Amino acid sequence: MGALFMFLLKETSRNGYNNDRRDAVFAKNYFRHFKMELPHPDTIDDVLRVLLPGQIEAIKAQLVSKLFEQKLLRELRFLGKYYFVAVDATGFHTFDHKHCEHCLTKTSKNGVTTWFHYVLEAKLVTSSGLAISIASEFIENSSGRDFEKQDCEQKAFVRLAAKIKQFFPRLPICILADGLYPNKNVFSICRQNNWGFIITLKDGNLRTFHQEVELLKGIQKEREVYRANTTTRTKLIYKYLNDIEYEGHNYSWVWCEETTTRLSDKREDKQRFVYITNIKQSSNIVVSTADGGRLRWKIENEGFNTQKNQGYQLEHKFSRTSYTAMQNYYQLLQVAHMINQFVEKSTQVVKLMGEHSKQTIMALWKDLVTYLKSIPYTMQQLMGFLSG
């Protein structure tokens, strides 16, 4: 609860957390709301060094399961069926020395060796901007050999997929992933688990698949869509092909070209997106398929970037030596970020943000800590305090 609270309040360090918890009014307010006292950061660390990381992850999965059970996110499903789950890895700690037995390591051309930690994440992503961790798999070195991102991320994906299936056995999932993922192994895992997928296709990927797409160019189906807002006009061309064979199975190909014109100076910006999917395409669903594929970005922006730069300090070394504690802080950060995302999208906070055009979420959270350090208010007075 102490570590969770540190992340919920975006304290950014154990020291900041400790200074706040020692504030008499803060402690009183915390007790008033939670009927508990906040522990010393060293006590938190002692517990997180011995707790099995799987236990906190199981709690995270239970919380996420509740969201599905309560049908809170049903409206955001793809084709009225699938939840989008983006999969991607990110580095979160780097050291100039060997930090633990599981560090990954790399030696650069000029002989400098670094040790680091990567995690492979599966996050539920929505068009409304949520990025919620449903499972995490640490990419860890057990062989002592040099780390190669592709090998290790691919191996971790096998373990991550098993974990997702274990936590959410019947959840209809559509996997979104980048150009590292179009391969036989990933396709077969998705097929075995009954998952859909929309995976970015790069030029180098799946040569024979590309060749067949090339041969069938003449029969591609096409659809055009126009979108406009006050500053830009966008033209989108969607193309698709079905029943393209690759290694004994059939897949669909989706292509999208987006041309955005800025109304002020007529400047044009062109982007192209290509996907392979196991969801059979038609002109009715090609737009939502390509738009869904593009939601993959949310794991990087709303996910990793927010956790690194918006108060959660994903890269901060909360535990300098313990690999177990490091994983536990990571899992608790994921839980806190999920809770905060719902708070940030609540009507009250959205209203507060709308009232002040220059208000930031970070500043609002600072005000929240200030509130907890001043005299106890009622909930209604708190909202007045934050908007004033």
Indicate the residue among 53 and 293 with the shorter CB distance to Zn ion. 53
Indicate the residue among 99 and 165 with the shorter CB distance to Zn ion. 99
Nearest-approach distance from CB 115 to Zn ion, in angstroms: 6
Nearest-approach distance from CB 103 to Zn ion, in angstroms: 3
d(CA 96, CA 385): 45
User: CA 281: distance to chain centroid?
Assistant: 27
Nearest-approach distance from CB 90 to Zn ion, in angstroms: 16
Nearest-approach distance from CB 313 to Zn ion, in angstroms: 18
Indicate the residue among 14 and 99 with the shorter CB distance to Zn ion. 99
d(CA 333, CA 341): 12
The Cβ-side half-sphere exposure at 154, using a 13 Å CA radius, reads 14
Nearest-approach distance from CB 142 to Zn ion, in angstroms: 12
| Residue labelled with tokens 């100076």 | 265
Bin 12: left if φ > 0, else alpha if -120 < ψ < 50, else beta: left
d(CA 158, CA 165): 11
Instruction: State the residues that interact with Zn ion by CB under 5 A.
Output: 99-100, 103
Nearest-approach distance from CB 332 to Zn ion, in angstroms: 18
Backbone angles phi, psi at 202, to 5 degrees: -100, 165
> What DSSP line would sit under 259-328, residue for residue?
EEEETTT--EEEEEEEEEESSPP-TTTHHHHHHHHHTTHHIIIIIIIHHHHSSS-TTS-SSSS-HHHHHH
Indicate the residue among 10 and 99 with the shorter CB distance to Zn ion. 99
Comparing CA positions, the residue from 373, 196, 167 lying closest to residue 279 is 196
Indicate the residue among 139 and 332 with the shorter CB distance to Zn ion. 139
Nearest-approach distance from CB 335 to Zn ion, in angstroms: 22
Indicate the residue among 100 and 236 with the shorter CB distance to Zn ion. 100
What are the residues whose beta carbons fall under 8 Å from the beta carbon of 333, sequence distance 6 or more?
Answer: 7, 307, 312, 314
Indicate the residue among 99 and 163 with the shorter CB distance to Zn ion. 99
Residue 179: CB atoms within 10 A of its CB come to 13
